[in-house]
A and B are shown apart, each in its own frame.
Chain A
Amino acid sequence: MKMLKPGIKRSRLSLSFRQKKQLTYWAFLIPFLAGFLFIMLEIYINSLQYSFNDVILDDASGFHLEWVGWENYDFALFRDPDFVANIQSSIVEMLTNIPLVIFYSLMIAVILNRNMKGRTFFRAVFFIPVILATGFMTKADMNNMISDQMWNNMGSAASASADSEMANGIFNSAEMQNYLTSFGIGTELSQYILTAAQNIYDIVNISGVQMVIFLAGIQSISPAIYESASIDGATAWESFWMITFPMISPLIIVNVVYTVIDSFTASDNVIMLQIQEQTYRSNGMGMAAAMAWFYFLVVAVCLIIITLIIRGYVYYQQRD
């Protein structure tokens, strides 16, 4: 009996110790939580409030709100001719892009991690899409197109906007389709491969971030693991699937989530363009906010479904 008591005490102590530890970890979140509660929450609530109002601009105080209830949502969903169709098309685009982006970025990251000549050069080149991800160059090209029209400069400046068309035109799709079907590949699959090949310019440019994340993940795997695997006789192929892949699988989920978000919120997404156009219309801000919030809900649902599917395949090195 006497032996039991200290045992119970100890287990209680260890429990409270763990709880204490958990509480200490919350300290890491203080800056983010403070910012979220005191700055962002108010901004979100304001924006949500706009979506239930007509935002009417006036000279006196900038603008005022007029309550309209669900009217904005009703209009966007049931009366606007483009909104729902645009949402559908951006979901389809996202679903086609995810596997391509993940496959491509992982492949390039593995290649760029190898020891080879010109590695620094290629890494620098493949980082360029990341730099351009803010839409910095797109804005410049847009400006150029506008000024070209204004000044009627038909010189080589137009070439910049034709870049993507040129890169897309590399493949002649009809011939390619015949070629692929001659291998006995089904029409649907060959169609998918063709779209992939034709979108290569876009895929390359939206995969920059994912590639860099994968590269960093691979670089932080200890070389000792590969060494011991190769002593045990593992081939490069085996050590990729047995070491690299499980070790970076937590980052696959990051990249899928990022790809989804990026595909939905990119500045050239059809919905984003529609929302932006709506914002600049006179008194259209309430409607834009309503569209944005509904769209946000759709994206969130997509994201949750996709994350739940992938989560089962992710390997964490921690015990739960």
Chain B
Amino acid sequence: MKKILKKQSKERTPSRLAESFSKNRIKRTLSQIFIYILLIEIAFVILFPLLSKLSASLMSSSDMYDRTVIFIPRNPSLENYRVVFEEAFYLIAARNTLLISLLAAVLQTLICAMTGYGLAKIRSKLGSLVLLFVVLTILIPPQIILVPMFLKFRFFDIGGIIEAITGNTVTLMNSVWPVVILSITGLGFKNGLYIFIMRQFYKGIPEEIEEAASIDGYGIFPTYFKVVLPMSVPMMITIFMFAFSWQWTDTFYSGMFFSELKVLSNTIFSMTSAFHSGSFAGNYTTSAVLQTGVLMAIFPLIVIYIFAQRKIIGGIERSGLVG
């Protein structure tokens, strides 16, 4: 009996293996196909508005008014792009936007990471109160504090100190200072979210790592900057990308602070109002030019994100401390 059983099992094993192997393969390919269909569908939902903008931007004005032209331009032209380049001061505005966004994003990422770390470590009622303040800053939408905020930076002062010394308040409009001040204090656009993300992230890091560092003789600050900070690189790059792209496309603060300074989110919109009033009136199809402008403003961001994504993976491999 035993011998027979052994024989049978010996005979069966390879064929079974092959069977289960091919089954697994089929299963895997099927799930792979399903995932691709899902991703492509959702990608289409996301890309559709942009694609329709792309098609509008490539149309010449005769195509714009021709109802038989749907989506694919009959007489493609780059005229719209040329208009945006010249009328929206694209290169200057893009350079300014890049510099401001970089500055804001670097400051905000660092400050928010530090604040998040402090909040993750402090275990007292007072610490929770500060966390409440952090949530408060994102909970109160900026539109509501628009007027007091404008006044604050128009007549800027810190607790009456500046006025006491110089006898006057400072006007910070049309400079990068409002952005710098808001960034360096972690109060910029949606910075509360970044602080909250970093706090939750640091709460998820096992304490043993910091204890090991402190046994090795590291103080709190060296532990943070040399051990904990490198571990949080993927999260910080994500926050950096949020801060960067939101500063880049921000119309709210830019409209308030930079009425003279040329940044993309302003020039693209002011460009079209010039069409209506000035010598350009009626020369260009406003909507096509505006859509082209939006595309040209967004495009650099997508490229930058692809590079940053590569960095995230590199960041994990380099830190090596994980686990």
A: which residues have CB within 8 A of B?
21-22, 24-29, 31-36, 38-40, 42-44, 46-47, 50, 108, 111, 116, 120, 122-137, 139-140, 143-144, 147-148, 150-151, 153, 155-157, 159-160, 163, 166-167, 200-201, 204-205, 209, 212-213, 215-217, 219-220, 222, 224-225, 247, 250-251, 253-254, 257-258, 261, 265, 267, 272, 275-276, 279, 285, 288-289, 292, 296, 299-300, 303, 316-320
Contacts and interface: CB of A to CB of B under 8 A. Distances in A.
Counting from the closest, the 8 A-B pairs by CB-CB distance are: A35-B185, A28-B118, A157-B287, A222-B323, A46-B148, A222-B322, A136-B249, A216-B238
A279 B150 CA distance: 14
A215 B237 CA distance: 12
A29 B268 CA distance: 38
A156 B204 contact: no
A49 to B, nearest CB: 9
A204 B206 CA distance: 33
Nearest to A300: B139
Given A28-B115, A163-B49, A276-B143, A220 B241 contact: no
Contacts of B205: 317-318
A261 B122 contact: no
Contacts of A205: 46
A145 B154 CA distance: 33
B196 A31 contact: no
B72 to A, nearest CB: 11
A80 B298 CA distance: 40
B309 A250 contact: no
12 contacts: A32-B187, A36-B133, A126-B46, A128-B50, A134-B251, A136-B249, A140-B291, A147-B287, A150-B276, A157-B287, A220-B232, A247-B204
B4 interface: no
Nearest to A108: B42
Given A31-B185, A44-B140, A44-B145, A131 B249 contact: yes
Interface stretch (B10-18, B81-89, B300-308): B300-308
Given A31-B184, A34-B185, A136 B294 contact: yes
B141 A26 contact: no
**Among the interface residues A120, A156, A296, which one has the most CB atoms of the partner chain B within 10 A?**
A156
Contacts of B195: 32
Given A128-B47, A212-B242, A216-B238, 12 more contacts: A29-B115, A32-B134, A39-B152, A46-B151, A122-B43, A132-B249, A153-B64, A155-B287, A220-B322, A250-B204, A318-B204, A318-B205
Contacts of B149: 43
A149 to B, nearest CB: 11
A160 B53 contact: yes
A70 B158 CA distance: 31
B144 A151 contact: no
Contact of B64 (A156, A216, A225): A156
Interface of B: 32, 35, 38-39, 42-43, 45-50, 52-53, 55-56, 59, 64-65, 67, 69-71, 111, 114-115, 117-119, 121-124, 130, 133-135, 137-141, 143-149, 151-152, 158-159, 181-182, 184-187, 189, 193, 195-197, 200-201, 203-207, 220-221, 224, 231-232, 234-235, 237-238, 241-242, 245-246, 248-252, 265, 268-269, 272, 276, 282, 285-288, 290-291, 293-294, 297-298, 301-302, 305-306, 309-310, 312-313, 316, 322-323
A213 B197 contact: yes
Nearest to A144: B287
B144 A275 contact: yes
B145 A156 contact: no
B193 A220 contact: no
Nearest to A216: B238
**Among the interface residues B133, B204, B269, B282, which one has the most CB atoms of the partner chain A within 10 A?**
B204
Nearest to A266: B141
Contacts of B56: 156-157, 159-160
B217 to A, nearest CB: 15
Nearest to B147: A285
Given A32-B185, A212-B238, A204 B286 contact: no
B285 to A, nearest CB: 7
B183 to A, nearest CB: 9
A316 B202 CA distance: 9
